[in-house]
Amino acid sequence: MAEVIINGPEGRIEAKYHHAKTNAPVAVILHPHPEEGGTMNDKITYALYRTFIQNGYNTLRFNFRGVGKSEGVFDEGEGELSDAAAVLDWVQAHNPNAPKSWVGGYSFGAWIAMQLLMRRPELDGFVAVNPPSHNKDFTFLAPCPVSGIFIQSNDDEIGDPETVTKLAKTLTAQRNIYITEKRIIGADYKFTDKMKPLMDATQKYLKSGHQEALLKSA
């Protein structure tokens, strides 16, 4: 794992990058809300990062503008989306022959990740943990361009699991798109004592081949 500095729209972006091997798939992981203590070292962000690495991905996590060594100030999501796009550019430039590209995010990071899907048609799949559908607008997913998984805390004291279920059903109604929803029973917003089920759910989805099957049937 190497620390890297990426040139972003507001200056440097601090990141951690693990290079598995040449021609491996790539993944970018996005952290929770910067104004609520979110950083790339958040335990759930790190768990996603490690799980993608364990599945052979060249994987990068990074700090949004104004967090850690990343320059700039919080920009209500618009600037953070630009940060994510710049990071994806860097990963793809360093892995020009990657067979697929994924994005993962937790909470606010999941919201930005889903927006990145709409901006970058080359993305192949996503893992969104506790997407904040209770207080963020997801209507931009019209239609959602790729299949993926929502992993939701069943006892999320901040969000509303029912709004995530509704969103998953709405997106799955679109042609050739299937959104898997996995609720982690007994998990609070931070997955206290439930990190293993979270990582297991991510691992199972990445290994399932479900995304590839859908692409072949499209």
Give residue-wise pLDDT tens across range 183-195: 999 999 999 999 9
What share of the chain has pLDDT > 70, as a percent?
95
32-64 per-residue burial string, b: 16 or more CB within 10 A, e: under 16: bbbeeebbbebebbbbbbbbbbebebbbbbbbb
Q: Are 161 and 138 in contact (CB under 8 A)?
A: no
Q: What is the pLDDT of residue 175?
A: 83
What share of the chain has pLDDT > 90, as a percent?
93
CA dihedral 138, 45, 33, 15 (to 10 degrees): -110
The residues, ordered by sequence, that sit 6+ positions from 90 with a Cβ below 8 Å of its Cβ are 4, 6, 15, 60
Give the end-to-end CA distance of the chain in Å, rounded to a whole number: 36
**Chain mean pLDDT for the chain:** 94
Q: How far is 110 from 116, CA to CA, in rounded Å?
A: 10
- Give the number of other CB atoms < 10 A from CB of residue 212: 12
Candidates 35, 31, 41; CA nearest to 130 is 31
Q: What is the distance of C-alpha 141 from the center of its chain? A: 15
pLDDT category, 57, cuts 50, 70, 90?
A: very high
Q: What is the pLDDT of residue 165?
A: 97
Give residue-wise pLDDT tens across range 116-138: 999 999 999 999 999 999 999 99
Q: How far is 218 from 211, CA to CA, in rounded Å?
A: 11
Q: Structurally, how many domains does the chain consist of?
A: 1
Helix axes 108-119, 78-94, angle to 10 degrees: 60
Q: How far is 145 from 117, CA to CA, in rounded Å?
A: 7
- Residues of the domain holding 31: 2-217
Q: What is the pLDDT of residue 212?
A: 45
Q: What is the pLDDT of residue 39?
A: 98
Q: What is the pLDDT of residue 213?
A: 39
Q: Are 22 and 102 in contact (CB under 8 A)?
A: no
Residue for token digits 């293993």?
196
Q: What is the pLDDT of residue 208?
A: 87
Instruction: Give the mean model confidence (pLDDT) for residues 35-59.
Output: 97
Query: What is the domain-level CATH number for residue 37?
Result: 3.40.50.1820
Q: What is the pLDDT of residue 112?
A: 98
Q: Are 198 and 129 in contact (CB under 8 A)?
A: yes
179-184 β-sheet, strand order = 2-8, 11-18, 58-62, 26-30, 101-106, 125-129, 148-153, 179-184
Q: What is the pLDDT of residue 209?
A: 62
The residues, ordered by sequence, that sit 6+ positions from 188 with a Cβ below 8 Å of its Cβ are 153, 155, 156, 157, 194
